[in-house]
Chain A
Amino acid sequence: MLILSIETSCDETSAAVIENGDTILSNVVASQINSHKRFGGVVPEIASRHHVEYITLIIEEAMEEAYVQFSDLDAIAVTEGPGLVGALLIGVNAAKAIAFAHNLPLIPVNHIAGHIYANQLEAPLEFPLLALVVSGGHTELVYMKEHGSFEIIGETRDDAAGEAYDKIGRVIGVPYPGGKHIDEMAQLGEDTFNFPRAMIDEDNYDFSFSGLKSAFINKVHNADQKGEELNREDLATSFQHAVVDVLVSKTVRAAKEYDVKQIILAGGVAANSGLRAGLKAAVAEELNDVPLIIPPLSLCGDNAAMIGAAAFLDKEKYTDTNLALNAQPGLTL
C-alpha cells in the first residue's frame, strides 16, 4: 500500500511517499523560513505564493526519491486543515488534480492527527495512549483509546506554547522562529527568575501560557526602564523551565489517571530539547513501565510523511476521488 501525501498547511511545502503507514520511502520538505524570517513571522499571502511556485516540483522529487510511478500508487493523501486557508488550498487543489488525473482515491487528513501519527513512523502505536501535542498553534493532551479516536482531555486556554516562544523571542530579539533560538540559549543559563507555572496544581489538564508570557515581557521591560541588563541565557532558561514543568507535570498526571500503555510527543515544539529531556526523565522516574515515543527531529516540524502515516488509517473510508474536497482552516481533531 503506497500513499503519496502532500502537506502545505503553513510555511513548508512537503510531499512524501509512505508504505503501509509506517515506512518512509521519501519525505521532501521545502522550507520558507528564510522568507518569513524577514517579516518576523509567517505572512499568509507570501506563504501561499511560495507553495504554488514549488508544489509540483516537490511532489515530483518525492516520487523520484521513492522510485515510484503513478501506477504504483494506491492513494493520494492531503492535509485539509487546520492551517492557513490560502496555503492549504494549494495542497488540496494539487492533490485533487493529481488524484483525478490518475483516478486515485483521495484521503483528507487532519494536520494534528498527522503530527500524532508521525510517531507511528518511529514505533507502532499502542492503545490506550496519551499524546502531548505542542506546536505554534496547539497545546493539548489527547487521549486515544484506539486508532483514529481522539479525545482532547486538556488544552491551552490562551496562547499555544510555541506561540509564547515566538512572542518572547521577539522581545529579546532573536530571529523568527524564536523557539529554536530560545531553546539553544536555555542550555546555557540557569532558572533564576522563577516565572509562574500557571495552572500546574489545578485539577484539570488545561494549560495557560499568556500569564507566563506577560511575566516575562514585564520583567524585561522593567529592567529596560531602569537601564538594567538581564542575563539573556538565564531569561531563556527560566522561561523554558516554566513551560516544560507545566507540560511535563500535567502529561505525567494524565498518563497515571488514564492508565495509558504509551505516551507520545507530537508537534513542532516536540523538537525542543528541554521538553524532550524533561519528559523523558519524568516518564522514566514516575511511570517506569510506560514507553515514551518521541519523533526524530526531522518529523517534528511540518512534513508530508506524517500525513501519509495518518492517511493509512482511513484508506478504507476514502475509496474515491472526492473532487469537491476543500480546505478546512479551522478543522479540529
Chain B
Amino acid sequence: MKILAFDTSNQPLTVAVVENHTILSEQLINVKRNHSLQLMPAIEEALKQANTTLTEIDRIAVANGPGSYTGLRIAVTVAKSLAWAQKIELVGISSLKVLAANSLSTSNHYIVPVIDARRQNIYTGLYQRDAAGKLVEVSADVHIESSDYAKQLTEIEGTFELIGLDAPAFYETFKAELSDRVVLAPPTQNLPHASALAFLAQEDEAVPAHELVPNYLKLAEAEENWLEENPDHKGDDWVEKV
C-alpha cells in the first residue's frame, strides 16, 4: 500500500510517501512559512522524489488536529479534495498521536505530546506503547489548562515523557506536580514526521472524504458563548443550500 501523508497542524510542514514498510520520500521544514503557499508544491515534490504519481497512491493520511486552526484547515482541505477528486482512501490521525509516535519509550512509560494552546492551555493526550510496540491512546486528546493536566497525571502511577516542540515550555509546570516522574523527550524527537503519520494510518479505517473535518478540540469562542446560552441547540445544522 502506497500512502501520501502530510501534517501542517503547527509550524512544521511535513510530507511523506510511504510504501508498506519503506519511506520513499520525506520532507520536513520547521521555519515560519505559509502552509497555504507551501503544501501543494511540497506534495508535488514528495511524489516526484518518490518516483510516483497521485494516481498510484492508495491512501492519503492527514494530521487533522488539534493545532493551529488555519494550519489544520489547509491540510484537511487539501487531503479531502485530493481524496475526493481521485477517489483515494482517506484517513485522519491525531496531530498529538503523530508526535507521540516519535517516542521510543517502552510500555512502562506514558507519552505526553504537548501543543501550546496559548494562555497556559495545552492540547495534550496520553499515549503508551503496548507490549508489541504498538502506539495506543490511553486517554483522549484534550484542550486543558497545563497545570490542571499535570495535577491529573499525579493520580496515575508511572513516568511521563513530554514530547513536541512546545513541550520544553511546559516542563516546569509538569515538574512542579510530578517532580522526577516527568522527563523531556530529546529535541531530535520534537518534530512531527509525515512518515510516522503514514505508518499510523496503515491500520486505521478510511473515512468518506466529505466527512473529514479538523478536530479542533475547541469551539470558536462566539459559538462557545452562544451554546452556553442556548444549550438545546447543540449539534444543530446551520448551513443550508439556497
Query: B71-102, CB under 8 A of A: which get 1 and which 0?
Result: 00110111011101110000000000000000
| B52 sits at the interface (CB 8 A) | no
**Which residue in chain B gives the minimum CB-CB distance to A70?**
B85
- B81 & A93 in contact (Cβ 8 Å cutoff): yes
- A102 & B85 in contact (Cβ 8 Å cutoff): yes
Q: How far, in angstroms, from A13 to B242 measured CA to CA in the complex? A: 11
Kindly list chain A residues whose C-beta atoms are within 8 Å of the C-beta of B214: 49, 52
Query: A16-56, CB under 8 A of B: which get 1 and which 0?
Result: 00000000000011111011001100010110111011111
Kindly list chain B residues whose C-beta atoms are within 8 Å of the C-beta of A54: 239
| B231 sits at the interface (CB 8 A) | no
- B73 & A89 in contact (Cβ 8 Å cutoff): yes
Q: How far, in angstroms, from A241 to B177 measured CA to CA in the complex? A: 67
- B239 & A35 in contact (Cβ 8 Å cutoff): yes
Q: How far, in angstroms, from A326 to B37 measured CA to CA in the complex? A: 6
| B220 sits at the interface (CB 8 A) | yes
| A133 sits at the interface (CB 8 A) | no
- A56 & B78 in contact (Cβ 8 Å cutoff): no
**Which residue in chain B gives the minimum CB-CB distance to A39?**
B222
- A101 & B54 in contact (Cβ 8 Å cutoff): yes
**Which residue in chain B gives the minimum CB-CB distance to A91?**
B77
Please tell me which one of the listed residues B76, B85, B230, B239 contacts residue A32 in the complex, with CB atoms under 8 A apart.
B239
Please tell me which one of the listed residues B40, B70, B84, B210 contacts residue A86 in the complex, with CB atoms under 8 A apart.
B70
Residues facing B in A80-104 (CB within 8 A) are 86, 89-90, 92-94, 96-98, 100-102
Number of interface residues of A (CB under 8 A): 42
Please tell me which one of the listed residues B44, B69, B210, B242 contacts residue A48 in the complex, with CB atoms under 8 A apart.
B69
- B41 & A43 in contact (Cβ 8 Å cutoff): no
- B240 & A34 in contact (Cβ 8 Å cutoff): yes
Q: A93 and B85 in contact (CB under 8 A), knowing A32-B238, A46-B222, A55-B77?
A: no
A-B interface pairs (CB < 8 A), number:
122
- A324 & B242 in contact (Cβ 8 Å cutoff): no
Q: What is the CB-to-nearest-CB distance from B175 to chain A, in angstroms, rounded to a whole number?
A: 34
Kindly list chain B residues whose C-beta atoms are within 8 Å of the C-beta of A97: 40, 77-78, 81-82, 85
Please tell me which one of the listed residues B41, B77, B81, B242 contacts residue A323 in the complex, with CB atoms under 8 A apart.
B41
- B39 & A28 in contact (Cβ 8 Å cutoff): no
> Interface on B for A, CB 8 Å cutoff?
34, 36-37, 39-41, 43-44, 54, 69-70, 73-74, 76-78, 80-82, 84-86, 209-210, 213-214, 216, 220-223, 226, 230, 238-242
Known: A55-B80, A101-B54. 17 other contacts (CB 8 A): A31-B242, A32-B239, A34-B239, A35-B239, A38-B226, A46-B220, A52-B214, A53-B239, A56-B81, A86-B69, A93-B77, A94-B81, A97-B77, A97-B78, A98-B85, A323-B40, A324-B41
A-B contact pairs, 24 of them (CB 8 A): A13-B239, A31-B239, A34-B239, A35-B238, A39-B222, A46-B220, A46-B223, A52-B73, A52-B77, A56-B81, A56-B209, A56-B210, A70-B85, A89-B73, A90-B77, A96-B40, A97-B81, A97-B85, A98-B85, A100-B43, A101-B54, A101-B82, A101-B85, A324-B37
